[in-house]
Structure 1
Amino acid sequence: MPTTTTTIKELLESGAHFGHQTSRWHPKMKKYIFTKRNDIHIIDLEKTVVMLEKALEYLQRVVAEGGKILIVGTKKQAQEIVAEEAKRAGLYYINQRWIGGILTNFAAIQNRIDYLVRLEDQQARGELARLPKKEQQQLTDEMARLNKMMGGFKEMTALPDVVFIVDPTKEKIALAEAQRMGIPIVAMVDTNCSPVGIDYPIPSNDDAMRAIKLILSRVADMAIAARENLSKIEVDQVVTPDAELDEKLAADADAAA
Structure 2
Amino acid sequence: MYSRRAFLAGGIATSLLALTACTGREKHDALDALRQRLGDGHSNISIRLIGDSITWGANADGYREYVSPQTNPKMRLLTDTRAPLSIPSYANLLRQWVVGTYFRKGSAVPIRGGVQIRDGRRKLLFVNDGINGATSDRWLPGGPLLGGQEGFDFVICMLGTNDRARSAPAPLSPKRTEKNLREIVRFVEGSGGRVILATPNKVSSQRDFSGRPDLYAFSQEQVAGTVRNVAETLPTVGFVDCYSATASVAESLLLSDGLHPSDFGHRLMFEEFLRVLKG
- Give the TM-score, by structure 1 length: 0.34
Question: Which structure is higher in RCO with an 8 Å CA cutoff and minimum separation 6?
Answer: 1
Please say which structure displays the higher CA radius of gyration. Answer: 1
- Give the TM-score, by structure 2 length: 0.32
